[in-house]
Chains A and B, each alone.
Chain A
């Protein structure tokens, strides 16, 4: 009774744990949907993915350890579900995609733009969304989870089921690739404006 986590385990009937988990999970629908949208790039698929995630969270409620990060747990289910769907649909596996892109990212040279100048110009949210969506899936996931949702490397490693080193490398390469795309957008805008 003195320790809050113990109290939850012993003092509260299982039903209440599930009820609380359901209520708290409803509060994370928005970030889950936003992440789902970045994964699927399609509103209807994102909706199905989130609903599926929610159903699984309730079904496996007893596997959640009270006191740990519920949001991270839900994101783990979201990504597992997404991976299973990709596998079921036998689309190109994530890793092939990312390896090719990793090479591309390694070869890509950053432009002469400075971050500050890009930041000034690339404020158009549509540009940023488009640049993010154009990233290979593995990088898009890593950057989103780190910089939008601010999960730790270890949490992201759990969600994506890859080693921490891979997570760090994907974040790093994903960010550089994103910056590269943004600077291209910015340069294109400059050319268009100059051409008038």
Chain B
């Protein structure tokens, strides 16, 4: 029995032909006497042959459309900072600083428990990163129920998208997904007081109430049920009290 166990440990290398001649001879000798191990070795060899024969086909599926171009865009963005879109509001230096800090924070966050500031800093950087993809500058206000069904059909997210509201002082600009520290999450963009603000919804993430200013952005964090919401706005946009109240009430 212990013989069989020792042989079993070598069957992968045996099938892969990575044993020395003398090791191989030991295995062969055992296989000649033991039908159980012989069957095991044959099964292993059989599966190996089949998978390798079909490796090209198994691996060969086409890339989903857009994956390559998105990665290329990510590479361009990371290698050449300062997209023209932000030129008016932020000097390139500031953007570079955000990206550098983002990287630093990302590294630190691997080792440390994320503090609220770190969390807010990441989302500020995510806002810079994703807002352009979600909302095209100059777009007219978007239809909330259409975006709700889009988020559901495209990504399977069931979220309530608060519509544009005159009383709330917000205009819904767009919705999409954004890759943030917690994974890929729904990302809504509103315009209020002429500024773009991001609302992130993180299901399954629980964080306490917080209001943090970092990297020139203000992040308001609140939870509802099992979902954490974060509203990121430019810090100099001020209180935005009406808009914040409205979104806190309506988003779930």
Chain A positions near chain B (C-beta within 8 angstroms): 15, 18-19, 22-23, 25-26, 29-31, 33-34, 37, 43-44, 47-48, 50-52, 54-55, 58-59, 85, 88-89, 109-110, 114-116, 118-119, 122-123, 125, 128-129, 132, 143, 146-150, 153, 165, 168-169, 171-172, 174-176, 178-180, 182
Tell whether B132 is near chain A: CB-to-CB under 8 Å.
no
Contacts of A178 in B (CB 8 A): 47, 50-51
Given known contacts A122-B50, A128-B51, A175-B48, A29 and B75 CB-to-CB distance under 8 angstroms: no
Q: A58–B39 Cα gap in the complex (Å)? A: 46
* B interface secondary structure, majority: helix
Evaluate contact between A125 and B57: CB separation under 8 angstroms: yes
Q: Give complex CA distance A18, B103 in Å.
A: 14
Residues in A whose Cβ lies below 8 Å from that of B67: 29, 33, 47, 50-51
Given contacts A19-B79, A176-B47, contact A168 B9 (CB under 8 A): yes
- In the bound complex, CA of A54 to CA of B58 (Å): 22
CA–CA, A22 and B15, complex, Å: 36
Contact A47 B71 (CB under 8 A): no
B23-31, B165-173, B176-184, B223-231: which one contacts chain A?
B176-184
Can you spell out 15 A-B residue pairs with CB atoms less than 8 angstroms apart?
A18-B79, A19-B79, A30-B63, A31-B59, A34-B58, A50-B67, A59-B78, A89-B204, A119-B53, A128-B51, A147-B48, A147-B51, A148-B52, A165-B9, A175-B47
**A143-B47 contact given A19-B79, A110-B39, A129-B58, CB 8 Å threshold:** yes
Q: Is the CB of A37 within 8 A of B61?
A: yes
Which residues of chain B are within 8 angstroms of A168 by Cβ–Cβ distance?
9, 12-13
Contact A115 B79 (CB under 8 A): no
* Cβ–Cβ < 8 Å partners of A54 in chain B: 71, 74-75
**B8 contacts chain A at the CB level, 8 A cutoff:** yes
- Contact size range, B: 35 or more
Contact with A along B58-86 (1 / 0, CB 8 A): 11110110011011101100110000000
Proximity string of chain B (143-165) to chain A, C-beta cutoff 8 Å, 1 when within and 0 when not:
00000000000011000000000
From residue B196, how far is it (CB to closest CB) to chain A in Å?
22
Contacts beyond the supplied A26-B75, A174-B47, A182-B47: 8 A-B pairs with Cβ under 8 Å:
A29-B71, A44-B156, A51-B74, A54-B75, A128-B54, A147-B47, A168-B9, A172-B12
Contact A88 B54 (CB under 8 A): no
Minimum CB distance partner of A171 in chain B: B12
A55 near B179 (CB under 8 angstroms)? yes
Asked if B49 and A119 make an inter-chain contact with CB atoms under 8 angstroms apart, the answer reads yes
| Chain B residues at the A interface, C-beta cutoff of 8 Å | 8-9, 11-13, 15-16, 39-40, 42-55, 57-61, 63-64, 67-68, 70-72, 74-75, 78-79, 103, 106, 155-156, 179, 182-184, 204
Also in contact, A179 and B63, with CB within 8 A (given A29-B68, A34-B58): no
Contacting pair B45 A51 (CB below 8 A): no
Chain B residues lying within 8 Å of A153, measured Cβ to Cβ, are 12
Assess whether B44 is in contact with A179, with CB atoms less than 8 Å apart.
yes
Q: Which chain A positions have C-beta within 8 A of B61?
A: 33-34, 37
Contact A143 B51 (CB under 8 A): yes
CB distance from A29 to the nearest CB of B (A): 6
Residues in B whose Cβ lies below 8 Å from that of A176: 40, 43-44, 47
**A44, B155: Cβ atoms under 8 Å?**
yes
A119 to B48, CA, bound (A): 10
CA distance A85 to B140 in the complex (A): 36
Whether B75 lies near A172 (C-beta < 8 A) is no
C-alpha gap A147/B59 in the complex (Å):
11
A175 close to B44 (CB less than 8 A): yes
In whole angstroms, what is the CA distance A150 to B48 when docked? 11
Which B residue sits closest to A125, measured CB to CB? Answer: B57
- How many whole Å from B8's CB to the nearest CB in chain A? 7
- B12 & A119 in contact (Cβ 8 Å cutoff): no
Using A147-B55, A172-B8, A172-B11 as known contacts, say yes or no to A51 and B179 having CB atoms under 8 A apart: yes
Q: Is the CB of B52 within 8 A of A147?
A: yes
